Chain A
Amino acid sequence: MSDAKTMTATTDATTPSSRKAPALKGGRRAEEIAKILFVVPAALAIVALFGYPVVKNLVMSFQDYTLRTFFTGQAPWVGLQNYVTVIQDDVFSKAVVNTALFTIGSIAGQFVIGMLLALFFHKNFPLNGVLRALFLLPWLIPLIVGSAAWRAILEQDSGILNVTLQNLGIIDSPVPWLTSPDVALIAVILVNIWLGIPFNLTLLYSGLQHIPDELYEAGAMDGATGWKAFWNITLPNMRAVVGVTLMLGVIYTLKVIDIILGLTQGGPANATQTIATQSYRDSFVEFKFGQGAALSNILIAISLVFSVVYLRATRRQADE
């Protein structure tokens, strides 16, 4: 076996290049084609499942694309009309504000709690790994399951949260967590924070693991311990990971639909309607696909702004 290898190698080396060249050229072309074939299925899948939808959405957003289109096959071109309609809709400004509050509130809560937990788990203690892994559970179960569990906890009359708060004397009458326009958004944000903690904990923890211990040892000699060490050593070294965590968090949160539909369906009185849920509503409840597409394109545009920041953050991280 090894003899054969050496022989091939020697023949290759000693064969006059003039005679070998054409055969090799053909072989190389076949090889190049074979290499490309490795990528073709994935490339087709990405074009079909991402490229096509993006283009299709763009086209639909300029058409009067409704339920009727499915019967007549006609979707008249209406220019920017869909965008004008969705932006002038009363719900739109509410949805924009809700999207902003939902995203900022969720990210702030997830990040702060995730960071505190990551710092805590960075310390050494028995069962650390097992306990940290179990923190992932809320992230691995289906979002709609998480919503269902919280529906039970937040239920107005017999939910455990109101019952406990009343028993403790903190509230006099049950809080309508998911049915009052005043508190529904807060409740939805709290549930989304709960869902996002595992993701933040995991990314930030892995970031902490990559900071060399020597930095802390050197810092300790200069008197940097505790909070000082956190500000001067931990945070600067975590910049890239923090950037990625925040950007991914924003991009994921902007498009959240499951949790809101499961908890409140965007209600009460649109109190928890976001751009994403409104887009779902337009397309799949009202069957105004053109308007739904226009809203989802607005969502893409917002995500894209954050994506650019995200890509820069990852590139910087790759460089380091």
Chain B
Amino acid sequence: MLTHRTQVTARRGIRTGIAIILLALMLFPVYWMLNTSLQPSGNTLSATFFPTHPSLDGYRTAINDQGRNLVTSLLIAAGTVVVTLLIASPCAYALAQFRFRWINWALLAILISQMIPGIVIANALYTLYESIGLLNSIPGLIIANSAHAIPFGILIMRSFMLGVPPSIVEAARVDGAGLLRSFLSVVVPISRNSLITVGLFAFLFAWSDFLYALTLTTQGSTKPVTLGIYTYLGAHISNWSAVMATAMLASIPAIILLVIAQRYIAAGATGGAVK
């Protein structure tokens, strides 16, 4: 019996080993980004597997060139989170708990909206923004990014709010709270986790956005960091360590969220599709 148990432990240990190797292969490009970002600046890539003489020159250049763009991205992402939560959460609650007759049509519209290619939205918003002066503006990019986060947010939060027992909302209503009050003071606190999940994903969507950054800005004045990287990635790359340092800086939100908010990420990753 003891040998059997040792066998099982050994087999599990081997599996963990295999998993680590697979993960290392999967994350190699990310490691390579880190490695290159720490190499001394230059227009050729180094083939050494470790930064034996680590240099922060790449990061210095990156922050000089792209520091402002990182702040722009941060403002756009934060704005998208606020707009998405304000607009999507009441709707999610309504679609989960109020018995509207047209609920299935609304859900169908939301599902279809998720399939509209970003380029379609970019085409239309460009011409619209051109006439109302929202091109090259942070609010303009917040609105465009919310386009993708709102339907996603409604679906995630609705599936969570389906599980909120109507009786506790009714209890608040009996105590004299209006619909909005009971939503804010009862439903929102209970649904906190789904709001956090949606907020995190709205942040990541907007932070990662490249298409709207590329199409809805025409001058250098408002430039999210993704667009900054794209400009770096011209035909001829002159400073690899600066490009990779910027790429690392642009990955920080994803890395932080993966470490500290893993369960929310997991919930959002499956929730959007499988409902």
Binding site for B on A (CB under 8 A): 1, 5, 8-9, 31, 34-35, 38-39, 41-43, 45-46, 49-50, 52-54, 56-57, 60, 65, 70, 117, 120-121, 123-128, 131-153, 155, 157-160, 163, 194, 197-199, 202-203, 206-207, 241, 244-245, 248, 251, 254-255, 257-258, 261-262, 276, 279-280, 283-284, 289, 292-293, 296-297, 299-300, 303-304, 307, 310-311, 314, 317-318
Would you call A279 and B119 a contact (CB within 8 A)?
yes
B16–A35 contact, CB under 8 A?
no
Look across to chain A and name the residue whose beta carbon is closest to the beta carbon of B45.
Answer: A158
Contacts A152-B32, A258-B210, A299-B119 known; 9 new A-B pairs at CB < 8 A = A39-B100, A41-B86, A46-B151, A50-B121, A151-B237, A257-B118, A283-B122, A304-B115, A318-B275
For chain B, the bracket of interface size reads 35 or more
B262 interface residue per 8 A CB criterion: yes
Report the separation of the CA atoms of residues A65 and B13 in the bound assembly, to the nearest whole angstrom.
63
Given A149-B29, A152-B240; A303-B111 close (CB under 8 Å) = no
In the bound complex, CA of A67 to CA of B273 (Å):
39
Secondary structure of the A contact surface, majority rule? helix
27 A-B pairs whose Cβ atoms sit less than 8 Å apart in the complex: A8-B174, A38-B179, A39-B91, A39-B95, A41-B90, A45-B150, A50-B121, A54-B116, A54-B124, A56-B123, A57-B123, A120-B22, A125-B12, A137-B258, A144-B210, A149-B247, A150-B29, A152-B243, A194-B29, A255-B118, A255-B119, A261-B210, A262-B210, A280-B122, A284-B215, A289-B127, A299-B119
> Which one of A1, A5, A137, A207 has the greatest number of beta carbons of chain B within 10 Å?
A137
A42 x B87 contact (CB < 8 A): yes
Within 107-138 of B, Cβ neighbours of A (below 8 Å) are at 108-113, 115-128, 130
Given A39-B106, A262-B230, check contact A137 B30 (CB 8 Å).
yes
In angstroms, how far is the closest chain A Cβ from the Cβ of B174? 5
Complex Cα–Cα for A192 and B266 (A): 21
